Structure 1
């Protein structure tokens, strides 16, 4: 290719010469899936394909290893086989599957700088991503609801059983299977993303019947889980805060610093508040870019470039990397088991009381403390 004028910036799309577009390298059998919107953009600079492929590969390896370790330890450590931890295992399974089915095909296509796996694999790629993405989102919602039930409702809440946890997990997978299958059945469709190395839902169609899928999808798979998680953690922090306040007042009346040995009366409250903030923030950062891109395409509020479309995919994939950290490594018993079986992967030596409860379990002591304080 011959360039005219100043040398192109390596961080910008390749200069448009001889009317070349990002669609020109797409195989003929894929052209019917490409929206006319993308014909106005020049090819991406090959450097971007290299960077995106490399980052996606690294995320894939870290996620597969991290979630694989979480699945192994939670499944084999007897002390971790609780109904609540089934959600953690399921989250690791869905994230593991997401990166296994979505990251490495994307790396392969980045090598060729376009989608070369054909229309069927485009459908399967997007379908699998939708299934495990929905499952991960709703599993995180179930984790929040379980913590709400234990901490806020306390003794009045119905204890979670293995069968109850399994039924909720089946619900999470069914949500993904149903919503993922609808585009393949005619309500919307799966098409190549703007950079042509990944596939996703068609958000550029002018047909409002097709657009309605994304609106309904986002309502059930984005807004409902998001507000549920925020609602749950708001009342969790509020309940723990109120209880810690009553404990401090009780300790003051008894002329002691704290009713818990080695505790200043604020640790559980602060730890839970931090976990709530981190959980909501990471969830929001992971899935909001996709929602913004889809809504921008539906309502034509801005021009979407091929490079912009990739950020939603990368942020969602990154979610599968840090989920094991937030939900696994933050668990003291998991850290102890990790240090025992895979010392090289342990972030730090386990505390002396490695068999202590997690923050969530610690805060469930609210019920027992209330019994003591009221006695």
Structure 2
């Protein structure tokens, strides 16, 4: 048997004729042209992992479907939450909801059959939806971080969020996502089966410049750029909150009072708490998607340590980020918890009371300041 050379990979006889079969053995004829020969070297994956992946994905799908559905319902029907900034939160919940609604059922079906059985068109649809909604999620988080930056760091000098501005940002997010996800559909790279061939994603094993340029551009503009903008925003948010708290403590010490907190300070504290919620959500998104990005980069730089099990778990774990956001908001978002208690009290754990300003301390501060004046 002759050695095959394909896009920079050398696939010899030991890869093409495994005694115990290959992970590509069950590939349907209509999908064969999309499967990269790199996967021929791997034996079929243990059926246990297909069952484990299916169970994990089903659980994540239920949590995401119910959790994000509730977030969309609460934020769209509660007057106190109908703010311009929360339109971005609503956009985030909708994209996460759509991610699992479109991807979870298809992947579970393919895991049952142990290969992609839905045909090339649905492979494109699956990968496009995963890429589109993941793209929308990260850029929604980026816009949320930038809004927190405007409110907390710039304060009154910052640009206030309006419904018009929020809608413009949402339209920009979806347009940007559509550009990157449409690329493989029109010839800039392509969507192909990956790992144990029950999932589809961007081509990252080819050595040609066309798919490599797409993957490099996609990584830069859909991962690194938003992460940089988020880190930049939160660096200054944390610094501003820390400086404010330090100034408050020093002033209170000088005036011999326990606290200088007024209603305005509590509002600022509430903004800081919302920033923490957003920071937690973004951190979990990064933790979920970074392993899959690393796998893509390993293929990009011809690192032949990628296995079907590693790849499919990376892809599945990335999608699990969509079920995290409703849990974070349910635990940490003050007004969301109050609204959730009113509409779905069985889902609330712990107290929903918001911290109130220390009136006595505020009055004492005012009186002492007046006497000194």
Shorter-chain TM range is: 0.7 to 0.9
Shift of 1:311: 2.4
- Provide the C-alpha distance between the structure 2 equivalents of 1:176 and 1:97, rounded to a whole number of angstroms: 14
1:257 aligned counterpart, secondary structure: coil
In the alignment, what sits opposite 1:68?
A: 69
2:234 aligned counterpart, secondary structure: helix
Shift of 1:312: 2.2
Task: Give TM-score, length-normalised by structure 1.
Answer: 0.86
Q: 1:280 to 1:93 in 2, by over 3 A?
A: closer
Shift of 1:242: 0.8
In the alignment, what sits opposite 2:36?
A: 35
Shift of 1:145: 0.3
In the alignment, what sits opposite 2:118?
A: 117
**CA offsets, 1:221-265, max 9 Å, x none?**
00001111111011001011111111112111211011027999x
Tell whether 2:179 aligns with 1:161: no
Q: What are the equivalent positions in structure 2 for 1:68-107 lying under 5 Å apart? A: 68-107=69-108
- Provide the C-alpha distance between the structure 2 equivalents of 1:119 and 1:137, rounded to a whole number of angstroms: 27
Tell whether 2:235 aligns with 1:234: yes
Q: 1:318 aligns with which of 311, 320, 336?
A: 320
Shift of 1:314: 2.0
1:192 aligned counterpart, secondary structure: strand
In the alignment, what sits opposite 2:283?
A: 281
Asked if the contact 1:193/1:199 (under 8 Å) is kept, the reply is yes
Shift of 1:159: 0.6
Moved over 6 A (4+): 261-264, 266-270
1:199 aligned counterpart, secondary structure: strand
Give unpaired runs (5+ residues) of structure 1.
1-15, 358-371
Asked if the contact 1:237/1:269 (under 8 Å) is kept, the reply is no
The alignment's C-alpha RMSD in Å is 2.6
- Provide the C-alpha distance between the structure 2 equivalents of 1:268 and 1:92, rounded to a whole number of angstroms: 21
Shift of 1:17: 6.2
Asked if the contact 1:192/1:199 (under 8 Å) is kept, the reply is yes
Q: 1:274 to 1:96 in 2, by over 3 A?
A: closer
Asked if the contact 1:131/1:175 (under 8 Å) is kept, the reply is no
Q: 1:162 to 1:282 in 2, by over 3 A?
A: same
Q: 1:100 to 1:273 in 2, by over 3 A?
A: closer
Asked if the contact 1:339/1:349 (under 8 Å) is kept, the reply is no
Give unpaired runs (5+ residues) of structure 2.
1-16, 358-368
**CA offsets, 1:122-173, max 9 Å, x none?**
0011011111110001000000000001111100011110010011011111
Shift of 1:283: 2.6
Q: What are the equivalent positions in structure 2 for 1:46-61 lying under 5 Å apart? A: 46-61=47-62
Shift of 1:348: 2.4
- Provide the C-alpha distance between the structure 2 equivalents of 1:261 and 1:147, rounded to a whole number of angstroms: 21
- Provide the C-alpha distance between the structure 1 equivalents of 2:346 and 2:105, rounded to a whole number of angstroms: 25
Shift of 1:329: 4.0
- Provide the C-alpha distance between the structure 2 equivalents of 1:158 and 1:275, rounded to a whole number of angstroms: 21
Q: 1:106 to 1:126 in 2, by over 3 A?
A: same
- Provide the C-alpha distance between the structure 1 equivalents of 2:282 and 2:239, rounded to a whole number of angstroms: 16
In the alignment, what sits opposite 2:207?
A: 206
In the alignment, what sits opposite 1:18?
A: 19
Shift of 1:316: 1.7
Q: 2:309 aligns with which of 307, 310, 314?
A: 307
- Provide the C-alpha distance between the structure 2 equivalents of 1:177 and 1:199, rounded to a whole number of angstroms: 18
**More displaced 10-residue stretch of structure 1: 269-278 or 315-324:** 269-278
Task: Give TM-score, length-normalised by structure 2.
Answer: 0.86
Q: 1:337 aligns with which of 330, 336, 339?
A: 339
**More displaced 10-residue stretch of structure 1: 197-206 or 314-323:** 314-323
In the alignment, what sits opposite 1:291?
A: 293
- Provide the C-alpha distance between the structure 1 equivalents of 2:345 and 2:40, rounded to a whole number of angstroms: 52
Asked if the contact 2:141/2:282 (under 8 Å) is kept, the reply is no
- Provide the C-alpha distance between the structure 1 equivalents of 2:319 and 2:222, rounded to a whole number of angstroms: 16
